[in-house]
């Protein structure tokens, strides 16, 4: 696995910015998802028990990633959970990008989980999915 | 002058700086920043870029404004104010923010520091127990979809009807805690499901509940302070900062997506995707305005339920009813909202994003009890330094569409603050300085370190000297709850 992400100290002072990158669009999805999970809670402190399968498709991988990250944020509030992991696969069928993912986590528990920021939304500010050589990269700003 | 921009910034007065329309293609009006020279020099590059982007939006009136607590946001800068013609202009969810009607509330008490200090640990524990905070927290109020619809349309009035507050609270809220024109039919089920269980919760980030002290020497205007119930003599007050929680966040997300299509449909070009907007009179514009009002009312209700819980906590700890402890609301004011207000140009959609309404004594919109003082303005500082109570002025109505600052404003990013500070150490240091902090997240606490913010006193001086708000009292923290 060659995906990475890093939080950005120099942009969007009141929010949380990060960059994720990898050798494929799927790897960027992995990196960005992990960044969002870790923004909300330390995944290793979250047990399982709550799970939701999600399937989304789009012609535009950038829009698909944005919608997926927004979905991750949504279920945090709608189900009152934080996440341990979010395994996913991204495939391309013709022009259509297809995401199959699972959100795995547990109800919020302040006694056992290391909790961080309550993300309000994924913004389009500076949002960009780009390819440079054999690397794909996305920059995301989360409103917290 | 060293500024974090290459743009020309002209001095209008010592507290007002103007970027002319020649500085960026597409600017329709100049941008004005309210700040002392010292604060202007610390403003990040995002402020200059974003306030001039706002100046390019269709139908903008007079100036795109930024208050002295301004900093890099998304779309609009935080601290941004812009007013658009209702007929020719736009409404932009990016000019309101994700946390619709994020706002401040101040509650006075008859208690003094001497009364509270011996019980502070118990009081903060009780408040921490009664007011859920932090990521994904849910509240004690359980609602059907139909009842949540009434929260959307009735706001804090719904709370008072349900026993979560006193009828006289309503007169001390912007719009009486209930904005007209909220239509639940334009809100998605997604938004309802996201927020229906969160009434009475604080959230995280810079949201907090703070127990504060007012000393005599911290009162700048004793007559106005007394009229607002602030008497000094080490008086205890309670401040709340939070908004519409997941419901409002989802309303914003839903409409930002819809507006991305709308800008193409209406042929509007914007400098930043997050400035997506639609003509105010368009179906999209009107539906967002109605949905935003639903979220705004839910935020008033959220702060009202929290107030109920605060009163219960004080009653439990001090063994008296909240009424006999003098726990009256001083005021509740929004700082992330768009509203239609009348100015000499006509009816304008005033967007305030991290900016507070600041109507002066002459404003007919104010209830009778604020006709002498002007509208209370509550500005939260960092958890280490203190906060301010101010009042609006008629000059603000003339100069800044009745708007002023909302808080200290950050100077350091959250990521940098987490690298620089440790939450547990900060908590210990603050305890030694007499500030008891209860926090769900230690990393979140580190992000909120006082040094990550501007000096609020200098920020307040900017708006006081500019005449758009007047200082009433400074409020010193002794206990803080953070998500």
- The full length of chain A comes to 144
C-alpha distances (whole Å) from B363 to each of B22, B300, B390 are: 35, 22, 16
**Does B4 reach chain A within 8 Å, measured CB to CB?**
no
**Does B73 reach chain A within 8 Å, measured CB to CB?**
yes
Q: How many domains, chain A?
A: 1
Cβ burial of B93 (10 Å; 0-12, 13-18, 19+) is buried
3-state secondary structure of B384: coil
At A1 the pLDDT is 67
Domain of residue A93 covers 4-143
H/E run at residue B310 = helix B283-318
Tell me which residue in A16, A124, A143 faces B415 most closely, judged by beta carbons: A16
**Percent of all residues in chain A with a pLDDT value above 90, rounded to a whole number:** 90
Cβ burial of A133 (10 Å; 0-12, 13-18, 19+) is exposed
ipTM, interface predicted TM-score of the complex: 0.92
A80, B138: Cβ pair inside 8 Å?
A: yes
Q: If we measure between CA atoms, which residue out of A82, A88, A120 comes closest to residue A101? A: A88
At B409 the pLDDT is 85
B406 carries an active-site annotation: yes
What is the C-alpha separation between B15 and B187, in angstroms, rounded?
41
H/E run at residue B90 = strand B90-91
Instruction: Going from the first residue of chain B to its last (483 residues), give the mean pLDDT of each consecutive group of 10, the final group possibly shorter.
Output: 96 98 98 97 95 98 97 94 98 96 98 98 98 92 96 98 98 97 97 96 94 98 98 97 96 95 95 94 98 98 98 98 98 98 97 98 92 97 94 98 94 91 95 95 93 93 97 98 92
Residues of chain A with C-beta less than 8 angstroms from the C-beta of B46:
11-13
What is the C-alpha separation between B95 and B474, in angstroms, rounded?
29
CA distance B317 to chain A (A): 24
Report phi then psi at A116, rounded to 5.
-125, -115
What is the C-alpha separation between B262 and B176, in angstroms, rounded?
33
At B1 the pLDDT is 87
CATH number reported for the structural domain that contains residue A102 in this entry: 3.55.10.10
- Distance from first CA to last CA of chain B, Å, rounded? 39
At B103 the pLDDT is 98
What is the C-alpha separation between B135 and A76, in angstroms, rounded?
8
At B263 the pLDDT is 95
**Does B70 reach chain A within 8 Å, measured CB to CB?**
no
Bridge-based pairing state of the strands B31-34 and B64-74: parallel
What is the C-alpha separation between B125 and B303, in angstroms, rounded?
19
B78, A74: Cβ pair inside 8 Å?
A: no
Do residues B444 and B183 touch, judged by C-beta distance below 8 A?
no
In chain B, the domains with their CATH numbers are 10-411+453-482 (3.90.1860.10)
Give the pLDDT confidence of A45-83 residue by residue, as tens digits.
999 999 999 999 999 999 999 999 999 999 999 999 999
What is the C-alpha separation between B85 and B348, in angstroms, rounded?
5
Tell me which residue in B97, B416, B443 faces A116 most closely, judged by beta carbons: B443
Tell me which residue in A15, A80, A115 faces B74 most closely, judged by beta carbons: A15
pTM, two decimal places:
0.96
**Does A65 reach chain B within 8 Å, measured CB to CB?**
no
Nearest Cα residue in chain B from A67 = B257
At B136 the pLDDT is 82
What is the C-alpha separation between B49 and B72, in angstroms, rounded?
9
Q: Which residues contact B171 (CB under 8 A, 6 or more apart)?
A: B367, B369
Q: What is the mean pLDDT of residues A114-118?
A: 94
At B483 the pLDDT is 87
């Amino acid at each position: 696995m060659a995906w990475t992400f890093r939080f950005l100290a120099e942009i969007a002072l009141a929010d949380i910015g990060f960059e994720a990158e990898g050798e494929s669009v799927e790897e960027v999805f992995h990196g960005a998802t992990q960044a969002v999970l870790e923004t909300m809670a330390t995944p290793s402190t979250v047990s399982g028990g709550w799970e939701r399968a999600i399937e989304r498709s789009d012609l535009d991988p950038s829009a698909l990633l944005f919608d997926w990250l927004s979905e991750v944020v949504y279920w945090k509030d709608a189900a009152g959970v934080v996440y341990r992991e979010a395994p996913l696969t991204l495939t391309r069928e013709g022009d259509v990008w297809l995401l199959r993912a699972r959100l795995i986590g547990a109800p919020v528990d302040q006694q056992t989980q290391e909790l961080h920021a309550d993300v309000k939304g994924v913004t389009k500010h500076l949002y960009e999915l780009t390819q440079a050589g054999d690397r794909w990269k996305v920059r995301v700003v989360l409103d917290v | 002058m060293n500024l974090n921009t290459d743009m020309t910034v002209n001095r209008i007065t010592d507290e007002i700086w103007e970027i002319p329309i020649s500085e960026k293609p597409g600017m329709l009006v100049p941008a004005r920043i309210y700040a002392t020279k010292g604060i202007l020099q610390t403003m990040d590059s995002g402020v200059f870029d974003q306030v001039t982007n706002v100046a390019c939006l269709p139908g903008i009136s007079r100036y795109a404004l930024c208050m002295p607590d301004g900093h890099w946001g998304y779309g609009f800068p935080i601290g941004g104010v812009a007013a658009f013609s209702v007929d020719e202009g736009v409404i932009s969810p990016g000019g309101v923010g994700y946390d619709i009607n994020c706002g401040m509330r101040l509650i006075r008490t008859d208690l003094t520091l001497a009364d509270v200090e011996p019980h502070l640990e118990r009081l903060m524990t009780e408040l921490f127990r009664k007011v859920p905070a932090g990521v994904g927290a849910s509240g004690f109020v359980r609602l059907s979809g139909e009842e949540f619809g009434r929260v959307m349309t009735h706001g804090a009035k719904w709370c008072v009807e349900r026993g979560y507050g006193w009828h006289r609270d309503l007169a001390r809220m912007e719009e009486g805690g209930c904005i007209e024109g909220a239509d639940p039919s334009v809100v998605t089920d997604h938004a309802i499901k996201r927020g229906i269980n969160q009434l009475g919760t604080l959230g995280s980030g810079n949201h907090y509940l703070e127990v504060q002290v007012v000393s005599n020497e911290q009162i700048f205007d004793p007559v106005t302070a007394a009229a607002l119930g602030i008497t000094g003599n080490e008086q205890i007050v309670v401040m709340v900062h939070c908004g519409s929680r997941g419901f409002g966040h989802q309303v914003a997300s839903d409409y930002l997506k819809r507006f991305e299509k709308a800008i193409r449909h209406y042929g509007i070009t914007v400098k930043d995707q997050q400035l997506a907007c639609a003509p105010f009179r368009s179906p999209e514009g009107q539906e967002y305005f109605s949905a935003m009002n639903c979220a705004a009312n839910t935020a008033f209700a959220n702060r009202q339920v929290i107030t109920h819980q605060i009163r219960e906590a004080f009653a439990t700890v001090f063994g008296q009813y909240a009424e006999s402890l003098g726990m009256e609301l001083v005021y509740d004011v929004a700082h992330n909202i768009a509203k239609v207000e009348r100015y000499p140009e006509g009816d304008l959609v005033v967007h305030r994003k991290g900016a507070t309404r600041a109507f002066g004594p002459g404003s007919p919109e104010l209830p009778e009890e604020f006709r002498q003082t002007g509208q209370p303005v509550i500005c939260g500082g960092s958890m280490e330094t203190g906060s301010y109570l101010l009042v609006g002025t008629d000059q603000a109505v003339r100069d800044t569409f009745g708007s002023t600052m909302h808080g200290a404003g950050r100077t350091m990013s959250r990521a940098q603050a987490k690298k620089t500070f440790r939450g547990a150490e900060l908590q210990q240091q603050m305890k030694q300085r007499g500030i008891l902090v209860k926090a769900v997240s230690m990393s979140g606490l580190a992000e909120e370190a006082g040094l990550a913010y501007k000096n609020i006193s200098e920020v307040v001086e900017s708006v006081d000297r500019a005449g758009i708000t007047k200082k009433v009292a400074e409020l010193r923290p002794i206990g803080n709850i953070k998500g």
